[in-house]
Amino acid sequence: MHGISFLVGLVATGRLHSIGPGASIEEVDQAVKADFIEVEDVEYGTLRRDYGFVELYFSGGTGEWVMTSGMIELHRLAADDEGMAAEWHRDMGVEFPEYCSWSELREELSQTPDAPTFELRYQGGYLEYRAPETNVSVMVVGDQMDRDDCPGRGDIFSVSFG
């Protein structure tokens, strides 16, 4: 599957590989087969799983972890020397390009039945397109940056959900 098609599904449903906020850690383990680094904060009852450019967040405690949100840090793919995109493609079957453009995502969403509507907020040099129905935010580079080791103007910086 192409990364933009994957993002269309995430934006339209608020779910990543069929999981979303409220999923147990066991459900996440069944849906996401990629390697991760896990960081637990016992004091605050939080857990973060870092799958490279995808991060999932949990609350609860040992044996009771529940997913609260997640983020796809697409900006990290512009300088992907670690092979994160290739690893995600191998493990999850989704192929992300070096850059993902907002116009391409918006075009595919326009052809999707029941696609959510967006509220636009300005966030410094970024544009946040928030879909309240699915609790998904798409951060887009809004300033005059050119593409290099970071996304450029009109490229998606990150997608968060939950």
Instruction: Check: CB of residue 123 under 8 Å from CB of residue 138.
Output: no
Q: Above 90 in pLDDT, residue 56?
A: yes
More confident: 143 or 77? 77
Mean local confidence (pLDDT), 70-99: 95
Which residues touch 160 (CB under 8 Å, ≥6 apart)?
Answer: 69, 70, 71, 72, 136, 137, 139
Mean local confidence (pLDDT), 7-24: 97
Q: Where are the alpha helices (DSSP H) in 15-133?
A: 25-31, 84-92, 102-110
Dihedral angle over CA of 153, 151, 54, 109, nearest 10: 40
Supply the pTM of this predicted model: 0.95
Instruction: Check: CB of residue 9 under 8 Å from CB of residue 112.
Output: no
More confident: 82 or 127? 127
Distance from chain centroid for Cα 89: 15
Q: Above 90 in pLDDT, residue 8?
A: yes
Q: Above 90 in pLDDT, residue 63?
A: no
Mean pLDDT over all residues of the chain?
96
